[in-house]
Amino acid sequence: MKLKKIGVLAAGLIVAGVAVATSACSAGSSSNGGKIVVSTFGLSTKQMQNDVLKPFTKENGVKVSTQFGDSSTRLTQIQHNPNSGVDVIELAQNNAVTGAKKKLFAKLDFSKLKNFKYLSSAQQKLAKQTNSVPYTLNSIGIVYNPKKVNLKEWNQLWDKNLKGKIAIPDITTTFGPAMLYLAGDHAKTAVTSDNGAAAFKALKELKPNVVKTYAQSSDLSNMFKTGEIEAAVVGDYAVGMLQATNPNLKYVVPASGTYANYDNVAILKNSKNKDAAYKYIDFRLSQKIQKKVAGAKSLNNAPVNTAVKLTDSEAANKTYGDVAKRAKTIDFFYVNDHMSSWINQWNKIMNQ
């Protein structure tokens, strides 16, 4: 079976045709409190408007315009147009590391963020390394149709009975590098020990089972509905959306562990509205908003503010508590240094 590819490859991200929705509408009425343009993720845009942007405008009197899209595409946009007018950008961790390396972000004065003290020491270190502040933590697991399969561990994805029945994130997506790390685990060889050589051999073994690589987790809903796939590797932030359209789907984070990713928020170096941008970041880190967006009917964002406590039901499908304890980190500084080579290897194996 010829492998199909959803979305675009990294090589095509610069080309027109990768849709990034931009809204000129403010999240609230105009006021004299300033204005900002926020570039953020294209998943759950209604909840983002209702639970973050409109309350921010109401509380701070700052007019907000928004740009929605996937992380890597929006990073590419500001990289090629540093005067785009975007003030604040929310990115997956690997893209935040890239943005920092390319010096796209303003150097942050953390004394202006009163909620910064509620981050862990590791999160504060990442913020200082990248001039981008973690505001939520997510990780990957397996979502599956229990009428067809019963999956508990990562190694089961290589089972021959799943031939042509699974979907995995593309290498260029938020959790693409994590997929490579999982393949390295399957091969019992750490990616950082051999530049991913063993992991790519394991991916070649996995390929017969992979009917789709995907660029957006929203693409998985129809695949499950039509029976095109029986399982997928997916970020926990998308589980609520998938189960809303397919209530019978199950989600598991294997006991052997998972890989984590922070979503970070940064102020662009060329922002002309930095005071309002600092207010936005601090609002994003506040206990009230962190608790609000943790809701399953909101953004399903696991909190990083240590003052926020979740009940067991609130913590479901989030990188929180026991799941967070067994979440392993990815060295995105290392990953990004090897990404060009890895994209080429991935495409030769997975997308031909």
pLDDT at 39 exceeding the cut of 80: yes
**22 DSSP β-pair partners:** 67
Q: What are phi and psi of 120, to 5 degrees?
A: -70, 165
CATH pick for 139-259+332-350 out of 3.40.190.10, 3.30.450.20, 3.40.50.920, 3.30.70.260:
3.40.190.10
Task: Tell me if 4-138+262-327 shares its fold with 139-259+332-350.
Answer: yes
pLDDT digits (tens, 9 = 90+) for 123-177: 999 999 999 999 999 999 999 999 999 999 999 999 999 999 999 999 999 899 9
pLDDT confidence of 111, banded at 50, 70, 90?
Answer: very high
Q: Which of 306, 290, 257 is nearest to 122 (CA)?
A: 306
pLDDT confidence of 21, banded at 50, 70, 90?
Answer: very low
pLDDT digits (tens, 9 = 90+) for 232-263: 999 998 898 899 999 999 999 999 999 999 99
pLDDT digits (tens, 9 = 90+) for 180-209: 999 999 999 999 999 999 999 999 999 999
pLDDT digits (tens, 9 = 90+) for 319-333: 999 999 999 999 999
Q: What are phi and psi of 167, to 5 degrees?
A: -125, 145
Q: What are phi and psi of 41, to 5 degrees?
A: -70, 150
pLDDT of residue 352: 77
Q: Are 318 and 325 in contact (CB under 8 A)?
A: no
At 258 the three-state DSSP class reads strand
pLDDT digits (tens, 9 = 90+) for 82-97: 889 999 999 999 999 9
pLDDT digits (tens, 9 = 90+) for 56-86: 999 999 999 999 998 989 999 999 998 899 9
Q: Answer yes or no: CATH 3.10.180.10 is held by domain 4-138+262-327.
A: no
pLDDT at 25 exceeding the cut of 60: no
pLDDT at 13 exceeding the cut of 90: no
pLDDT digits (tens, 9 = 90+) for 265-312: 999 999 999 999 999 999 999 999 999 999 988 998 999 999 999 999
At 159 the three-state DSSP class reads coil
Domain extents in the chain: 4-138+262-327, 139-259+332-350
pLDDT confidence of 32, banded at 50, 70, 90?
Answer: low
* Residue-wise DSSP of 94-153: HHHHHHHHTT-BPPP-GGG-TTGGGS-HHHHHHHHHHT-EEEEEEEEEEEE-TTT----S
